[in-house]
Structure 1
């Protein structure tokens, strides 16, 4: 009859169906809100409700079968003490379960590290606690995004500055030393015999300085990476560090996926920094540089037989490697090697089908 009445009043069946759908959706929304509200009762109301229930029960018992005499009888004292224990136990349980999410949030905040993203506390507990955890997770997401953006800009500026310095070293200082070397050769050809040896020593010192300038320029701007690719650049890097008592073995597989220029630069810089730390701080005589394809991506390994990382805090070099890894979505781990020493592993994901 209700449908007939609505049609007679001028409302079409389509409009009536819409209203019924809206009413059903409203009822479902109200039911869902009711269940959500029951789950997210605030901590204040939980504690207040338990205390109020305990006081109401205690009052009802005192007005009913339970009485207190003067002086207090032993049975009455036991009843009162038992009620007090139950009330305290109920309060302890509510506080324990209500504050547990806050304790999880405290541990998450104490161990948060923007260089190791992804860890988030689980949202749960009373409404206030759930809201606080949600806000914290949102803030952490924003901080990680801002840090990644800032690190990308800083590293991009750093690479540009490296290229500029390398170009000036090669074009300005290198050419100047080359001109000095040529001038010394002309002087040596016309110098008397007693001065020829000293001029020759000056030539050797100038030649050594020129070689050092070129080596520094190559480290600042890896031209071999741009010209010959990542595999050749890593082999050249291993050969460069095979000096002064350090032997670097390299193994680069040929079935590597195609990497972006940014990823290749990050892999090269991490390998360079890892070998630099080995040469300067590890006290090692052997090192290994390995780049291979692994399920789902590519892994770079820099391993040495030195003294290991120990308990010393991470320095600027490792921090820089972690920041570079974040730029390409890679994971960097630094830990002890199986036979002593240090392992530096960089694992970066590569989409399926990205094979050369």
Structure 2
């Protein structure tokens, strides 16, 4: 998502603000921003503990002759895989502090609470947990379209201190004995405890997904039981090499990435066994001629990359790749056929077919060695 920022213009309203908790920003959009405030729990409020949630509130005056634009798609500002996303207008908060599995950035949509869309006060509420303990500031206000933001100078941006202790810790471990066949459901245990006390935390709502990396995929909803655990069953259709568990902080249905999330963890592992067979068309041939080698990879075929290797001394050296053909109709998990070519030298050469690890969590595999004699 490439963004081209226009030249930044300091708003004259900044000079009119009465204190450092009310700020105006440098604008790269047609919306004029002023009177930005950030408030948290009242002074004297007990620190957040464990899975407790509090709210930060952001208010801002937005002036736009044509009306503040309203977005319909999720929007970010850093072109980053792990940044929070929301519809905009919105506000982005950030911190340099981090506690355990909490985020360093938060984002929430702004809604009109008084006035009009051409000149009104807009408000956003941002949920935080004990994992968000630290100093937070308003970094920017975002808007749909190009240009798309108003940055607030760090020196004058509103700030608030979040107090917390013993934050929620999410841990994941497989209960199924690994590795398993790719067509097998894998069961994981998700555990929620206090990071310091290690006490079990019940009733925590979690979204879990599996994918080829820590970005996550379509989530499955679960909730921890009285002992702080929850079971996650991953069917073959959701096979992946990473298990991502995130805690949503909104009561409404939401998927990961909409900004209202707290703690998260990612477990990378290879739960699925690999398998590859190899059969040469001939075991003897004229040296320097091609011999077809065929076989099957019991694999998630989208990531299958079998290669032909020859034994050189004590090392296996890759000498050719392979053409892969899927087995319909369940080509995603049922395996695939491949074809490659061996070109034997004078004498007897030892070969095998190797399959590297799969992005979907299948382990590397090698075929049985076979020999071809070149005459």
How would you bin the TM-score normalised by the shorter chain? under 0.3
Is the strand fraction higher in 1 or 2? 2
- Greater length-normalized contact order (CA 8 Å, ≥ 6 residues apart): 2
Give 1 or 2 for the bigger CA radius of gyration: 1
Higher helix share: 1
TM-score scaled by structure 1?
A: 0.19
